[in-house]
Structure 1
Amino acid sequence: MPCCHADFALIENSDKAFTVGVPTFTFGAGCLAEAGEHARELGVSRVALFTDATLSPSAHVAAVLASLKAAGIGATVYDEVVVEPTTASFQAAARFAAEGKFDGYVSVGGGSVMDTCKAANLYATHPADFMTYVNAPIGGGQRVPGALKPHIACPTTSGTGSETTGIAIFNLTEINAKTGIISRRLIPTVALIDPEVTATLPRSVVAASGFDCMSHALESLTARPWPRRLNPARGASRPVSQGANPFSDGLATEALKGVGRYLVRAVSDASDVEARTEMMYAAMLAGIAFNAAGCHLPHGLSYPVSGLARDFHLPGYPVGKTLVPHGLAVVLNNPSVWRYTAACCPQRHVHGAACLGAEVRDVKPGDASEAGEALAGRVIEMMRAAGIPNGLSDLGFGESDIDALALGAEPQWRVIRNAPKDVTREDLKGLFSAAMRYW
């Protein structure tokens, strides 16, 4: 596979460099107990600890609180984070943070918790109208003006990679669409990645988060190559995610190898410590990769799926409301996308399939159809083994929803434009139609 699209001809005004933001991270069993030491090293004295109501009484939160206390760090718990955050939940968290005047933040939870903590830290540190920092064209897209308070992120799921990214995603309820805030300033200062926390996760959570990890890596590998971006006016204005590059390629490759070997095992057996540990590591690698390269179509198409779903609930997630977990919405669009994008970079699609464990020896070099089918077929095989629903139709969608789904995806141009080819509304409709059922 060419190193970072080295076969792509640079033009005079192409960007000749790429920038990567990475937090300090510690990976290993029991490292949550190091939270207090890191907080003290960062010079904080009073932190807000963000979590959710389910995790609040858990041993994981207790371990972090005990570590903070032992280090002489005061902590106030905020456990009103909601799964799949909304405008209102982000705003409520920001008010709590502003009123508390904390000098540091700790998050213990999945992507929803970590993203909420990032947003709260941002608005408490640099107050502004809520839409100011939200990605354009939905929001103002203004740059974060300065550094945030220290943030120690402690993930409890193996998929979102939020502990390594400068991205905070939420549902903008006014238009019923997912959007977010993106800035290197949002990248947590320290990440404590303790695989022991996944031992009690329900299989549905392991599956949804694990396929999110897989898609992060595949999208990083197949994203529009970084030289296609124009030279920025100044290096500091280079976006967080810049397209596929040598750094993201390497991490995405290793993440996919881990996913191919361990995802189905991690879903099938909660006692498989090796598999759940390796998935935690893969999630970290994929998070760093997609933060640098960016996601594209599977994530762009996932947001209207989450926002427009009716009466769907996956066991293992909070009850009482329709909720399509983010990773599930993402993976259900994967196979249709890989069949569509393979013509742009067939070798990368074959490489991704091989990393996931597919047999690719008989795939003809440069054959887009075979490349797309190799990758889509392997993803479908893993979906079936992990008990993932059979396409969007299993969530209650039908052909009559395709126009609304395509319309809902269009505001996600920031993500979709990172695809390896230009995408029209008719293309979006075709992708959703192809994602209705796979087997």
Structure 2
Amino acid sequence: MTMAPNDRGANETVFTLEATQLKFGNGAVEELDWELKRLGLRKILLVADPRLRRLGMTERVTDIIARAGVEISVFENILVEPTIESLGEAAAFAASRDVDGFVALGGGSTIDTAKVANLIRSHGGAIIDYVNAPVGGGRKPPSPLRPLIAIPTTSGSGSEATTVAVLDIPELKMKTGISHRYMRPTLAIVDPELARTTPGAVTASCGLDVVCHAVESFISRPFDARPRPATPDDRPPYQGSNPVADIWSLKAIEFGGRFLERAVRDGNDLEARGTMMLGATMAGIGFGTAGVHIPHACAYPLAGLKHSYSAPGYETSHNFVPHGFSVIVTSPAVFRFTYDAAPDKHIQAAELLNAGPIANPGRDTLPDTLIRLMKAVGAPSGIAELGYGEEDIPALVQGALKQQRLLVGAPKAIDAAGIEAVMRQSLRNW
């Protein structure tokens, strides 16, 4: 029976699925020229990770673009874990170019840089205007951006499928983001061959990000537990768990359990690397609709408050905490806390990661499974290994509390005392 609007009550009754078009498979990047022609693009800005030039990937992609008869400008000054300043440089470069589309070639940092450059090139303004409130202005882009084709080269962030760009604001000692449905790339070209040269430690961090994305999305507040928005325009991109998002998230969890360790061990294992790349995109579709919550809210201050951790495998001169490590270190404590909100979902996620049933499952089943995976791929043992101690916990709690856009998606409400308990438990997971 169709209900009249006044009969629906105060809670949400609608969820949406808006997904990036996906092209996946070995050699898929060779079809970029056809896709550019299909989209009618004539002048594009290629935003590329500078490390890819010496591997021949940048030249390969520029040759494919030239084959389509498309004019190319190239921006390569990408910072691993972008700051508002580095994104501003990319946005200024894009604003100075006459382009009708963007191509991003690299990992999550590169794709996020391209998203923000596209946003400012399309609608102007300062980056901080668009940053999520209360940190920034929370401005919404008024209309769609220029087409963006994302070509990931790591098996991790899922940025090619999401509405989000993450940035560090050093003066505030925190990370935050810009999120809107118009930020989602038009097309993701996911080619496993492009991930072959990624170092194992980078694959580990990226793969743990996939797992955490997918588990958080699956174990998020149900969409129909949210207040109903005043208008469809006010419906957030992160809507809460729902039957469609769960499908994507569950498959990504399964892939993480089956293939992440193999992908870390051997860059030439294209089945493992490719499946983790596909899992990253699938997790991106899942959490891009359902959302992430407490581990990501804790990750932003963990990545932004200090910069003392030297990340293995990353070619950069500055210290930083890779995103996958910053989210995974608090996840065991978080999923102990959230267990009683959805016990069956916690156990189902653990059994998928474990590739089979677990005897006598309970509150510690998912945390213990995550810790085993973290150990197997060489993740940090906890936030102490990232450079934090007891004295830092109050600042970390305050930083996490600023991420209300994420915390509202948790399946169980959490306050300052709860976040403090999570941080203390996460100092050392083993």
Question: Structure 1 length as normaliser, TM-score?
Answer: 0.94
State the match for 2:234 in structure 1: 237
Q: Does the 8 Å CA contact 2:65/2:72 hold for their aligned counterparts?
A: yes
Is 1:76–2:67 an aligned residue pair? no
In 2, distance between residues paired with 1:229 and 1:242?
Answer: 8
Cα offset for 1:401? Answer: 1.3
Confirm or deny that 1:422 pairs with 2:413. yes
- 1:158: which partner in 2? 155
2:190 counterpart of 1:199: no
Is the aligned partner of 1:379 residue 2:376? no
Whichever residue aligns with residue 354 of structure 2, its letter is: G
Amino acid at match of 1:425: A
Give the letter aligned to residue 130 of structure 2: Y
Match in the other structure for 2:136: 139
1:52 Cα deviation after fit = 2.2
Superposition deviation, residue 81 in structure 1:
1.1
| Residue 66 (structure 1) aligned with residue 66 (structure 2) | no
Task: Tell me, in whole angstroms, the C-alpha distance in 1 between the residues paired with 2:387 and 2:158.
Answer: 29
Whether the 8 Å CA contact 2:329–2:429 is kept in 1: the answer is no
Structure 1 position 213 matched with structure 2 position 210: yes
- Tell me how far apart the structure 2 counterparts of residues 58 and 97 of structure 1 sit (CA, whole Å): 25
Q: What amino acid is the match of 2:385?
A: D
CA contact (8 A) 2:29 2:190 kept: yes
- Alignment of structure 1 residues 186-335 onto 2, 5 Å: 186-335=183-332
1:305 alignment partner AA: L
* 2:403 alignment partner, SS class: helix
SS in 2 for 1:19: coil
- Structure 2 SS opposite 1:205: helix
- CA shift at 1:265, angstroms? 1.0
Corresponding residue pairs, total: 424
Q: Distance in 1 between matches of 2:71 and 2:265?
A: 40
Report the Cα distance in structure 2 between the residues aligned to 1:238 and 1:65, rounded to whole angstroms.
39
2:401 paired residue number: 410
CA distance in 2: counterparts of 1:162 and 1:435, whole angstroms: 26
- Give the drift of 1:142: 1.7
The CA distance in 1 between the partners of 2:153 and 2:356, in whole Å, is 33
Deviates more, 1:311-320 or 1:21-30: 311-320
Please state whether the residue corresponding to 1:338 is helix, strand or coil.
helix
Most deviating of 129-138 and 283-292: 129-138
What is the CA deviation profile of residues 275-332 of structure 1, one whole-angstrom value per residue up to 9, with x for unaligned ones?
1111111111101000000000111101111112342112211332221101111111
Tell me the CA shift for residue 15 of structure 1: 1.2
| 5+ residue gaps, structure 2 | 1-6
Q: Deviations 1:199-253 (Å, cap 9, x if unpaired)?
A: 1110010000000000010000111110012222222332111000011111111
Contact 1:358 1:374 in 2 (8 A): no
Report deviation, 1:63: 2.2
One-letter amino acid of the counterpart of residue 428, structure 1: I
* Cα pair distance change 1:151/1:319, threshold 3 Å: closer
**% identical equivalent positions:** 39
Residues 181-204 of structure 1 show CA distances to partners (whole Å, capped at 9, x for unaligned) of 111101111110001111111001
Q: How many angstroms does 1:358 deviate by? A: 6.0
Q: Could you report, residue by residue, the CA deviation over 1:321-370 in whole angstroms, capped at 9, with x for unpaired residues?
A: 22110111111111111111101111110010011016545336xxxxx1
1:72 CA displacement: 0.2
Q: Does 1:390 align with 2:387?
A: no
Paired amino acid for 1:418 = G
| Structure 1 residue aligned with 2:109 | 112
1:433 aligns with 2:430: no
Alignment of 1:331-342 (within 5 A): 331-342=328-339
Once structures 1 and 2 are overlaid, which stretch shifts more, 342-351 or 53-62? 53-62
Report deviation, 1:174: 2.5
SS of 1:100 mapped into structure 2: coil
Any unmatched runs of 5+ in structure 1? 1-9, 365-369
In structure 2, relative to structure 1, the CA distance for the partners of 1:361 and 1:156 (3 Å cut) is closer
Q: Distance in 1 between matches of 2:270 and 2:126?
A: 45
